[in-house]
Amino acid sequence: MREILGRRRRLRFRRKERTARLDAAVTFAVEWNWPVLPGAGLRATTRTAPGATTRTAQGGATPVACSCPDPDCAVPGAHPYDPGLLAATTDERMVRWWWTRRPDAPVLLATGGRAPCAVSLPAAAGARALAALDAAGMRLGPVVASPTRWSILVAPYGLERLGELLYAKDSVPGTLRFHGEGGYLLLPPSVAGTGQVHWERAPLAGSARPWLPDVEAVVDALVEASTSAPGGGSRRAH
């Protein structure tokens, strides 16, 4: 009897997870006009692929690998595969069709254009960066966190604008990543090989569309946080 009750609880938890991903994808696409698409996702395997962790589900642990054909995928579950990135859309019918067919699929944001961009860095440096921005009284928008990286969403920017911004700096740490035109970002409540993705700073409840800061307003603090972090990575000259 205890085993049956445990199985029912796991099934209810799984259904709730799947509904949450569909609801989130619809909110992003329809209410916020952010183009989204399903990520590659994960599959159970007999061994854990490089970059993946074991996924725990209510007391059980299962080794996972990316659903794509690459056995050595560097970002298991957290990248476009089928459909490709160019399929990202704000069309509600398409979004619902995707996540009805693949309810476990992670939610990917296609960054750039009119959609949000992001600047990401390792989790420890990200925590320091947020503290520095808060201390400076800087207004922030949503912040996405995974066990390994934090991403601050920023207003859309072009490659030319980003290039000018980085050229003005003596150096930029190799651990800092920019998600702009042609890029993508995993959004909550997705699960990838590195673990659960969540809002470290959630969008304000009831927002018609989340406010986003300019990239210039945050990049200085992110660069300093990355370069001062122990093991924060090498510095890359520009």
What letter would DSSP give residue 231? T
Tally of CB atoms within 10 A around 203? 18
Which range has highest mean pLDDT (13-17, 51-55, 182-186)? 182-186
Residue 65 neighbours by CB under 8 Å, 6+ apart = 42, 43, 45, 47, 48, 49, 52, 71, 73, 76, 193
Task: Report yes or no: 107 and 28 within 8 Å, Cβ to Cβ.
Answer: yes
Mean of the pLDDT values across residues 196-202?
Answer: 96
Rounded Cα distance between 61 and 49, Å, is 15
Q: Would you say 229 and 122 are in contact if contact means Cβ atoms under 8 Å apart?
A: yes
Parse the chain into domains and list their residue ranges.
20-237
Where do the H-state alpha helices sit in the chain? 2-26, 92-101, 123-135, 159-167, 215-228
What pLDDT was estimated at residue 134?
87
Contact between residue 64 and residue 48 where contact means Cβ atoms under 8 Å apart: yes
Tokens representing 20 are: 């949450």
- Is the separation of the CB atoms in 37 and 89 below 8 Å? yes
Q: What is the pLDDT of residues 168-191, one digit of tens each?
A: 887 777 788 999 999 999 999 999
Q: What pTM, to 2 d.p., does this model score?
A: 0.82
**β strands within 22-115, DSSP E:** 36-38, 42-44, 54-57, 60-66, 107-111
Instruction: Report d(CA 177, CA 149) in Å as an integer.
Output: 10
User: Residues with Cβ < 8 Å from 115, sequence gap 6 or more?
Assistant: 34, 35, 109, 156
Q: Confidence band (pLDDT; 50, 70, 90) for 220?
A: confident
Task: Convert the pLDDT of each residue in 119-129 to its tens digit.
Answer: 999 999 888 88
Nearest-10 crossing angle of helices 2-26, 92-101:
160
**Are residues 173 and 235 in contact, defined by beta-carbon separation less than 8 angstroms?**
yes
Give backbone dihedrals phi and psi of 138, rounded to 5 degrees, phi first: -80, 135
Poorest-pLDDT segment among 47-51, 61-65, 170-174: 47-51
